[in-house]
Amino acid sequence: MSVALASQLREGTKKAHTMAENTGFVSCFLKGVVDKASYRSLVADLWFVYSAMEEEIGRLADHPVVGPINFASLNRRESLEQDLAFYFGADWRQQIKATPGAQEYVARLRRVAKEAPELLVGHHYTRYIGDLSGGQILKNIAQKAMNLGEHDGLRFYEFDAIPDEKGFKTNYRTVLDNLPIDQSTADRIVAEANQAFHCNMKMFQELEGNLVAAIGKVLFGFLTRRQRLGSTEAAVA
């Protein structure tokens, strides 16, 4: 039985999508306020998440529901490893550690893959199609905010194996709509996609503390400089 899963995922996750965009970290990011330390922590978290997801989906390549969405052209692990090498150096594996939110996200992916593999479709849709759709915009924001070169630390947003983004997404939606699932399973996949947004929001919220601290340091430095300048001007007067 074929169901319109693509449109159900789009409509069924709108609220969660908006909530994710309104977290402090993402909201600041979209406004061009990007702290490099916080951002590289996010890249590390995403490496753990995508490593788990790509490993599980690859292992389930013959699964009737998971197999059809196993597009190698979407995989982000290698791109993230290039970014981690840029931010942390060649020994990045020894330096990074998953935050509690990322650990929870990975555990969720592992559990779903073992107990209800078809629900991985919700996670796949939430992360990869979001990355593909907003990748260039986010790349440009990060590049300007952190004064980076065109590719430095930004490989995550580059889908070199997908030259036609619009065509790919059209094909992806067709694949979703033709998965061998019933409406009950579609409902569960949409619910899991919302859970995926929740997992992402938890990671973002953990990074907000670092971002607020970084902004506070900049503001404190600015106010201190002004205070010193004011004292100097008073002394001259």
Give residue 224's pLDDT: 42
Q: Give the pLDDT confidence of 170-217 residue by residue, as tens digits.
A: 999 999 999 999 999 999 999 999 999 999 999 988 887 655 444 444
Give residue 95's pLDDT: 96
Question: What's the number of domains the chain is made of?
Answer: 1
| Residue range of the domain that includes 67 | 5-207
| Residue 100 located in a structural domain | yes
| Residue 222 located in a structural domain | no
* Cβ contact 153:84 at 8 Å: no
| Residue 35 located in a structural domain | yes
Give residue 228's pLDDT: 52
CA angle 54, 158, 14 (to 5 degrees): 70
| Residue 219 located in a structural domain | no
| Residue 129 located in a structural domain | yes
Tokens of residue 64, six digits: 């009737």
Give residue 230's pLDDT: 53
Q: Please, what is the average pLDDT of the chain? A: 88
Is residue 160 scored above 50 in pLDDT? Answer: yes
| Residue 214 located in a structural domain | no
CATH code of residue 25: 1.20.910.10
| Residue 218 located in a structural domain | no
Q: Give the pLDDT confidence of 32-74 residue by residue, as tens digits.
A: 888 888 899 999 999 999 999 999 999 999 999 999 999 999 9
Q: Give the pLDDT confidence of 10-38 residue by residue, as tens digits.
A: 999 999 999 888 888 888 888 888 888 88
| Residue 85 located in a structural domain | yes
Q: Which helix (H) or strand (E) holds 197?
A: helix 183-236
Q: Please identify which residue in the block is written with the tokens 């993230």.
A: 80
